[in-house]
Chain A
Amino acid sequence: MKKGSMKTVLQFFILLCMIQAASFGQTIKLSGVIWDEEGQPLEGVVIADSLGHVLSQSTQNGIFSLEIQPNQQICFRKPGYIDTCLAYSDSKDQNRIVLRLKSTQMNAVIVSGQGMRIKSLESTKVGVTEIRVDSIRQLPTLTGEVDPLKILQLTPGVGKFDLSSGLLVRGSTIDQNLVIFDEGMIYNPTHLAGFISMFNPYVVEKITLIKTGLPVDYGGRTSSMLLAESGKNPSSNRIEGNVGLLLSNVAVHRSLGNRCWSTVAFRRSYIDYTLKPFSKQFFPNSRSFFQSSSYNFYDGNFIVNYRLTQQDNIILSTYLGSDNFTLNRTAFELKYDMEWNNKMASMQWTHYFNARHISKTSAYFTKSNLRLFIGQSNFNYRLISTNEDYSIKHEHRFYINRFKIKIGGQYLQQWVIPNRSAAVLNELQANFGTPNEYHLSTLSGYAESEIAFSNRFLVSVGIRENVYTHLGPYSQFVRSADTRVITDTLYYPYGSVVKKFNTLDLQLLLRYKIDSLSALKLNVGRNNQFVQQVNVTTVALPTDFWLPASHQVPPLVAQQMSIGYYRNWYSNINLSVEMYYKWFNPVIEFDKGLLQSLSKATMEENILLGKGRSYGIELYVEGSLERWAGWISYTLSRSERVFAEINQGRPFPSKYDRLHDLTVVLMRSINFHWKGSLTFTYASGQATTLPVGRYLVGGNIVNQYTAYNGFRMPPYHRLDIAFSRILKSYRGMNHELVFSIYNVYSRLNPYFMYYKVSGDLKRYKLTVTPQYVALFPMMPSISYRFSY
């Protein structure tokens, strides 16, 4: 070859390489919104390359954006939908991708979908547990019906207690957790003091628990947030339900025109009718407590999902739940009636300006009400406790390249009657002091910004300012310092300011992606809470009332730090390790029992203020392999309190402190007809105060107690199993029978301890033996589930 032509070829080759190199360096940008066939945005859609490596996922409003190579094939995937694969040669935004549904199969083993795995790596969220109700339907149950709240107790950081009327997260008390259902707040998310939750498994599609404090677009609580959402994408008109031994449940999903969907659901218990006839068998010699008492509950949901225009979507969600307990002992002329109910109505309106700008307006009304009546011959006692809230919120979200910005404001109006009593003995009306009710208003503004500094490093900063005002009418007693006798009453008229607090909530999150399969995250935050629940008994009951911040009770401030490490393996196994440290100030305790409080003029005067802290480490492994799926969760934690007036000012473990908490959940698809599942839980014993000594006064034996919560009860452990048998489809109706056994080896986990004293002092014989009360022995159940 001639030297000159070699040089030309070389130059040409280099030029070609350079062009190639230049085009290799070039990436194209894609963004848009992913919809389903009904025009609803789809979140959690995974965007993967041809090798299955995940590149991105769609956000809550169906928005996605990513950078890829030109002509690289990418696939849009979501469980239950048919994959859509495309290749782009050039940058394009405003893409509109529509995914079509696969036909649903009830007998598929669906566990942690890919969506869950990717979320934990991509997002900045630390301490988030997400449960899709579909994936947990086959787990063992207590009542025959799967309960999302009970399943949450099987995940790390969530305390497991047989009867607790709410969530206990990372050493918190029940009132420190915000429960939101369809953007509406719920005060009491359980029935029968925690036996079953308000979440109907045929209405609620997804539950997300954020354990590291509240994100700034929500406020008013300090520990965690539970976000429950109803199904946004119903696949077709259907009726589904569950018929069990203790309760039944029916949900109807129907389209009303081609842009509107509705869900109507109703549940009711009939424990009285099924258990009462059996109670005679089990308690033949008892004083028939069962015969004279009755308990039932019902709840209902009505949800409408309306796509007003291509850019507007409205969801209306309503909930009503009611519990009733009565006791009638004619021998003593005693009548006891306790009724509590929860109502909620919410509206959400999402407006899509374009693929980069969305606004969301939501409003809710929630009311929680307790009514107690005790009558004995001519003595009557009534108690009411009410909470009523109205809220409106408006926010804008912007998605601009590496930035995600959220700005919004919320106005909340609350009316609280903590505890209003009235007692009448013949003609005389007892004077319980001025009943107080509270009128509160909270105005908040927030802003959150998420910045992707690089592909690896993501930072999110959020800030929320709250202005909380306690308004009149309100009466405040002034006591003289020495005699403690009330000398004056300050009266605040309607609308005047009794007390005002101006607080700041902060959230800082950092995510560092070590490689495509593992990430490290850090979260630091601070939240304020204005209304706290006062626990007047040693167990959580609906009689525990809410007390707002005012002169005597300041707002609760909680600060927390958590750090987490997350790792995924291709064979569908995920691991997460999280450590947290929280501290709260002030926490409140009620001074002595409820019934002793009546010597003080107002409820607030019975409150003691102290400090608390909790810290721990959570390990979590989940995965699915062929026909097996499940998870293991282990938490090691401590939760402490310090009060000057309790335990001589020395720190003591909180009521919910449990050192070890282990759960193992396994699910298996045995064959085409049968599925099985198993859960095993183990937790350290609860702390309680125990008598250590006795002495004689007034001819009676009286107790001397340990340090406050100075004794540990025996550990709690239990095994549950369930089997479901898919029955032959009949005319398009899918149905199955579920057999479940709660507490298979019938361990009588102690719930409370008391002591039986027997003997006769006069004969110098006395025996005291400790007795435990356990709640649930082995409880089998059968239920029939259908979907048509």
Chain B
Amino acid sequence: MRTYLKYWTIAIIAGLILWGCEPAYDSKMFTIDKKIVVDGWIENGRSAIVMLTYNTPYFGNLDSASFRQLVATRAKVSVTDGVNTEILTLTKDTNYFPPYVYKGYSLIGEVGKTYALIVEDELDTVIAVTSILPPVQLDSIWFESTSDSSGIIKCILDDNPTEKNYYRIFTRIQGKEHRFYPALVANLNDRFFNGQRFTFYINKGRTNNILPIENIYFPKKDTIIVRFTTMDELAFEYWRTYDEELLNAGNPFAANHLSIPSNIQNGLGIWCGYGASYYRVIPR
């Protein structure tokens, strides 16, 4: 709910400043330390998926040649639960961006376990740790129309008052999308509804932050898969700050310009354990 507020407040205020005039600027180059960026996760019942890239200086252009340099494809990526270890295999998968993904097959995520990620690359070695929390079931979930052709998804959740729960919501339109995208207001912290019977909406989120917001409603004629996940506090802090940064960067009224707190030692990015429950929503 407060993320609704955030979203609208920022949208208005961004509009307020954008009508100001914009003078030209000659860019400067900054030097930065090159670091490994991890975008990886493991969830209950599935194996690990990790994407590795490097960071790049801020200003300037990127084209296909320089993009290729950003992807780390020669690293040794291993995941361990303390007992079993698996070295992930690099595969090409155009459902993700960049389309080079290290995938696991044998080590399947289990609820309650802790998983460590070790990346050994020519640049550096980075380590991260996460755990899979028990997934939480929604009480009910259904589609509600907002117009003739589209609508939103409504959910009811009974929050457990004895636990601190952090939720993140993803959706995928079956047949049209090949991976899960976070919902418009994806992060929920049970601090605001601890122990309550909480009703919330799911709007369609952005596929990436470069293109403008297309459509925040789901089409009626498609089936939508909802992935409702739980995670630990560190991972939640990462995603919450990440979403703030995507929305607020460029807004003087909200941006605080602090780098996102990564849980990767010596690197950037996130290694996240999800406790996921899936729902299929068929609009009628």
A694 touches which one: B55, B196, B252 (CB < 8 A)? B55
Which of B16, B62, B67, B246 is close to A289, meaning CB atoms less than 8 Å apart? B16
Residue of B nearest to A541 (CB): B253
Q: Which residue of A lies closest to B255 (CB)?
A: A538
Asked whether any CB of chain A lies closer than 8 Å to the CB of B134, the reply is no
Does B63 sit within 8 A of A, measured CB to CB? yes
Query: Bound complex: CA of A286 vs CA of B20, how far in Å?
Result: 12
With a cutoff of 8 Å between Cβ atoms, the chain B residues found around residue A703 in the complex are 58, 245, 249, 259
Among B25, B62, B211, the residue within 8 A (CB) of A764 is B62
Cα(A777)–Cα(B16), bound, Å: 16
Please determine whether B32 and A692 come into contact, CB atoms closer than 8 angstroms: yes
Pair A699/B268 contact, Cβ less than 8 Å: no
Asked whether, in the complex, the Cβ of A696 is within 8 Å of the Cβ of B27, the reply is no
Given A374-B9, A705-B258: A771 in contact with B25 (beta carbons within 8 A): yes
Given contacts A596-B244, A754-B251, contact A702 B260 (CB under 8 A): yes
A773 in the interface (beta carbon within 8 A): yes
Q: How far is the CB of B61 from chain A (nearest CB, A)?
A: 5
Query: Given B17, B23, B64, B254, which contacts A595 in the complex, CB threshold below 8 Å?
Result: B254
Min CB gap B159→A, angstroms: 11
CA distance A334 to B9 in the complex (A): 10
A701 contacts partner chain B, Cβ-Cβ < 8 Å: yes
Q: In the complex, what residues of B have CB within 8 A of residue A694's CB? A: 55-58
Are A428 and B198 neighbours in the complex by a CB distance under 8 Å?
yes
- Quick one: which of A364-385 are within 8 Å of B by CB? 374, 376, 379, 381
A689, A695, A765, A770: the one within 8 Å of B257 (CB): A689
Partner of B8, one of A374, A430, A748: A374
- Please tell me if A477 contacts chain B, counting CB pairs below 8 Å: no
Chain B positions within 8 Å of A537 at CB level? 252-254
The reply to whether B4 and A376 form a contact with Cβ atoms under 8 Å apart is: yes
- Write out the residue numbers on chain A whose beta carbons fall within 8 Å of the beta carbon of B196: 428, 431
From A593, A690, A770, A775, B20 is in contact (CB under 8 Å) with A775
Residue in B208, B253, B270 whose beta carbon sits within 8 Å of that of A699 in the complex: B208
CB-defined contacts of B219 to chain A, threshold 8 Å: none
- B246 CB to closest chain A CB, in angstroms? 6
Contact with A along B134-147 (1 / 0, CB 8 A): 00000000000000
Given contacts A374-B9, A696-B39, A754-B249, contact A770 B25 (CB under 8 A): yes
With contact pairs A423-B2, A693-B55 given, residues A593 and B164 touching in the complex (Cβ less than 8 Å): no
A379 touches B4 (CB 8 A): yes
Contact B210 A761 (CB under 8 A): yes
Which of B77-85, B102-110, B187-195 touches A? Answer: B187-195
Tell me the smallest distance from the CB of B37 to a CB of chain A, in Å.
4
Interface string of A710-736 (1 = CB under 8 A from B): 000010000000000000000000000
The answer to whether A593 and B250 touch (CB under 8 A), given A379-B4, A692-B30, is no
- Tell me which of A336, A595, A705 contacts B2 (CB under 8 A): A595
Task: State A666–B17 Cα separation when bound (angstroms).
Answer: 33
Q: Is the CB of A693 within 8 A of B30?
A: yes
The smallest beta-carbon distance between B126 and chain A, in angstroms, is 13
Residue B175 is within 8 A (CB to CB) of chain A in the complex:
no
Q: How far is the CB of A232 from chain B (nearest CB, A)?
A: 41
- Does A415 touch B at the CB level, under 8 Å? no
Number of interface residues of B (CB under 8 A): 80
- For B182, the chain A residues whose CB sits under 8 A away are 698
By the criterion CB–CB under 8 Å, are B19 and A290 in contact?
A: yes
In this assembly, does A592 line the interface, its C-beta being within 8 Å of a C-beta of chain B? yes
Nearest opposing residue in chain A for B18, CB measure: A773
Question: Is A3 in contact with chain B by the CB < 8 A criterion?
Answer: no
Write out the residue numbers on chain A whose beta carbons fall within 8 Å of the beta carbon of B98: 696
Q: Mark B55-94, 1 if CB is under 8 A from A, else 0.
A: 1111111111001001000000000000000000000000
CA distance A771 to B22 in the complex (A): 6
A755 contacts the other chain (Cβ, under 8 Å)?
yes
Question: How far is B211's CA from A758's CA once the two chains are assembled, in angstroms?
Answer: 8
Contact B53 A696 (CB under 8 A): yes
CA gap between A279 and B30 in the complex, in Å: 39
B70 touches A692 (CB 8 A): no
B35 / chain A contacts, CB cutoff of 8 Å: 695
Chain B positions within 8 Å of A336 at CB level: 8, 12
Q: Is there contact, CB below 8 Å, between B5 and A695?
A: no
Instruction: Determine if B240 is an interface residue (Cβ-Cβ < 8 Å).
Output: yes
When distances are taken between beta carbons in the complex, the residues of chain A under 8 Å from B58 are: 690-694, 703-704, 755, 768
Partner of A593 from B61, B193, B256 at Cβ < 8 Å: B256
The reply to whether the CB of A20 lies closer than 8 angstroms to some CB of chain B is: no
The reply to whether the CB of B265 lies closer than 8 angstroms to some CB of chain A is no
Q: Is residue A598 within 8 Å, beta carbon to beta carbon, of the partner chain?
A: yes
Contact A700 B246 (CB under 8 A): yes
Q: Are A777 and B258 within 8 A (Cβ)?
A: no
* Shortest Cβ distance from B209 into A: residue: A700
Q: Which residues of A contact B255 (CB under 8 A)?
A: 538, 593
Complexed CA–CA distance, A381 and B60 (Å): 40
- Please tell me if the beta carbons of B15 and A595 are within 8 angstroms of each other in the complex: no
With A485-B164, A538-B252, A704-B268 known as contacts, the answer to whether A697 contacts B258 (CB < 8 A) is no
Whether A695 lies near B19 (C-beta < 8 A) is: no
Q: Tell me the A583-607 residues at the B interface (CB within 8 Å).
A: 592-596, 598-599
Q: Does A706 contact B (CB under 8 A)?
A: yes
**Which residues in A have their C-beta under 8 angstroms from that of B123?**
none
Query: What is the chain A residue whose CB lies nearest that of B3?
Result: A595
A287 within 8 A of B: yes
* CA distance in complex: A772, B242 (Å): 23
**Are B257 and A705 interface neighbours, CB within 8 A?**
yes
| A702 with B2, Cβ < 8 A, contacts A748-B21, A772-B23, A773-B20 known | no
- Residues in A neighbouring B249, C-beta threshold 8 A: 691, 703, 754-755
Chain B residues lying within 8 Å of A701, measured Cβ to Cβ, are 209-210
* Chain A residue contacts of B257, Cβ below 8 A: 538, 688-691, 705, 708
- Chain B residue at minimal CB-CB distance from A748: B23
Q: Kindly supply a per-residue 1/0 record for chain B positions 246-280, scoring 1 wherever the CB is within 8 Å of any chain A CB and 0 otherwise.
A: 10111111111111100000001110000000000
CA A376 – CA B7 in complex, angstroms? 11
A283 at the interface (CB under 8 A from B): yes
Contacts of A693 on B, CB cut-off 8 Å? Answer: 30, 32, 55-58
Best-surrounded residue of A426, A539, A692, A758 (most CB of chain B within 10 A): A692
* Minimal Cβ-Cβ distance residue in B for A426: B199
Q: State the CA gap A598–B191 with chains docked (Å).
A: 9
Known contacts A428-B198, A430-B2; A757/B53 CB under 8 A = no
Nearest-neighbor residue (CB-CB) of A696 within chain B: B53
- The minimal Cβ–Cβ distance linking B247 to chain A, given in whole angstroms, is 10
Q: A761 to B5, Cβ gap below 8 A? A: no
Interface centre among A696, A760, A773, by most chain B C-beta atoms within 10 angstroms, is: A696
Tell me which residues across on chain B come within 8 A of A374, comparing CB atoms. Answer: 5, 8-9
B269 to A695, Cβ gap below 8 A?
A: yes
B17 touches A773 (CB 8 A): yes
Check B207 for interface membership: any CB of A closer than 8 A.
Answer: yes
Q: Is the CB of A704 within 8 A of B53?
A: no
12 more A-B residue pairs beyond the given contacts A691-B58, A768-B58, A773-B252, with a C-beta to C-beta distance below 8 A: A329-B12, A692-B30, A696-B37, A698-B39, A701-B209, A703-B245, A748-B22, A755-B58, A761-B208, A765-B63, A766-B62, A773-B21
30 of the cross-chain contacts (CB-CB < 8 Å) are A283-B19, A423-B5, A425-B200, A428-B193, A538-B252, A538-B253, A539-B253, A592-B256, A593-B256, A596-B244, A691-B58, A693-B57, A694-B57, A695-B37, A695-B268, A695-B269, A697-B39, A698-B242, A699-B97, A700-B209, A701-B210, A705-B259, A758-B210, A766-B210, A769-B27, A771-B22, A772-B22, A773-B18, A775-B20, A777-B21
- Counting from the closest, the 5 A-B pairs by CB-CB distance are A754-B250, A689-B257, A764-B64, A748-B23, A695-B55
By a beta-carbon cutoff of 8 Å, the part of chain A in contact with chain B is 283, 286-287, 289-290, 293, 327, 329, 332, 334, 336, 374, 376, 379, 381, 423, 425-428, 430-432, 485, 537-539, 541, 592-596, 598-599, 688-706, 708, 714, 748, 750-752, 754-755, 757-762, 764-775, 777
